[in-house]
Amino acid sequence: MRRERYGSFFGRLPLLAGVIAMLLFVGCARQAGSPESVAKLMNTVWRAVEVDGHRVEFLPGQRLDVSLVMHRSGRIRGATGCNNLSGGFSQQDDRLSFSSLSITRMACTKKLMVRERAFLQALRRTASWSVSGRSLTLYDSMGERIARFIVVGGR
């Protein structure tokens, strides 16, 4: 009888260890709206590395990184790889939306213009965000990842 009780306990150890590990991971993860994450989000130069599942590479004819900086004033500045970008944003907890996006009107190669449109559409579809380490991820209203950025510089 005693052996059955201990066997049952030890048989459940892997499950118990998994549950504890998951709780520790979730408890230590930074929430998108936490003060640390918001501090990282603001006034940081974020360079796009992925938009709508496509890797963002430096293309022939490109002058600028595809990038974004969100200022505490609620304004954004950035670049599409071809043109400069400006506009506004609203952030509360894990919610994030961009508005009044405008760009300069420089002519660029067809590939750059296609990627510029995809980048602007991804920003317009943004509904939420998360920061993990040196990476920013934007999500649409369905929770699907639409863009991923990395920190530029020493932040």
The full set of domain ranges for the chain reads 1-29, 31-151
**Judging by DSSP bridges, how do beta strands 75-80 and 66-70 pair with one another?**
antiparallel
Please list, in sequence order, all residues whose beta carbon lies within 8 angstroms of the beta carbon of residue 151, skipping any fewer than 6 positions away.
40, 44, 45, 46, 47, 134, 135, 136
For the residues 85-94, what does the mean pLDDT come to?
96
CATH architecture of 31-151: Beta Barrel (2.40)
pLDDT, position 19: 45
Confidence of residue 49 (pLDDT cuts 50, 70, 90): very high
User: What is the DSSP code string of 32-81?
Assistant: TTSHHHHHHHBT--EEEEEETTEE--PPTT--S-EEEEE-TTSEEEEEES
Rounded CA gap, 27 and 122, in Å?
30
Q: HSE-up of 143 (CA within 13 Å, CB side)? A: 0
The residue ranking higher by pLDDT, 89 or 61, is: 89
**How much is the mean pLDDT over the chain?**
84
93-149 pLDDT tens trace: 999 999 999 999 998 999 999 999 999 999 999 999 999 999 999 999 999 999 999
pLDDT, position 10: 53
Confidence of residue 43 (pLDDT cuts 50, 70, 90): very high
Cα angle 33, 128, 150 (rounded to 5 degrees) comes to: 85
The residue ranking higher by pLDDT, 13 or 67, is: 67
Confidence of residue 36 (pLDDT cuts 50, 70, 90): confident
